[in-house]
Amino acid sequence: MVQQQLPLLEGGMDAKRARCTLKRYLLDRIRVTLHEDVPSGVVLYNFDAESELLFSVNPLPFNRIGGSEYLSVSTTTGQVKSYGFRG
């Protein structure tokens, strides 16, 4: 496993900086894909293609068999909906 380290501030790291460090670490280890259409074989209830953008999220490296986690973002409100793992 690769470990990433940032220099510590004088006096150590507080919870806010630790959270930011963890978020950066996780962002480097996922792939987010925008889908123009719902992929074949994937059923998403209450997805509105007219007002939402659809994304799938997968861990990197992508070496597993199975579905993806699907999320959508409303283009009008910014609300994020999670559809869980599908496919």
- Phi-psi domain of 19 (left: phi exceeds 0; alpha: psi -120 through 50; beta: other): alpha
Residue 10 has pLDDT above 70, yes or no: no
Residue with tokens 């986690």: 69
Within a domain: 2: no
pLDDT per position as a tens digit, 34-57: 999 888 888 898 999 999 999 999
C-alpha closest to that of 32 among 55, 63, 2: 55
Within a domain: 13: no
Within a domain: 50: yes
User: Containing domain of residue 71, as a range?
Assistant: 31-86
How many domains is the chain partitioned into structurally?
1
How confident is the prediction for the chain on average, in pLDDT? 85
Total-model pTM: 0.71
Residues 45, 32 contacting (CB under 8 angstroms): no
Within a domain: 9: no
Residue with tokens 């259409």: 37
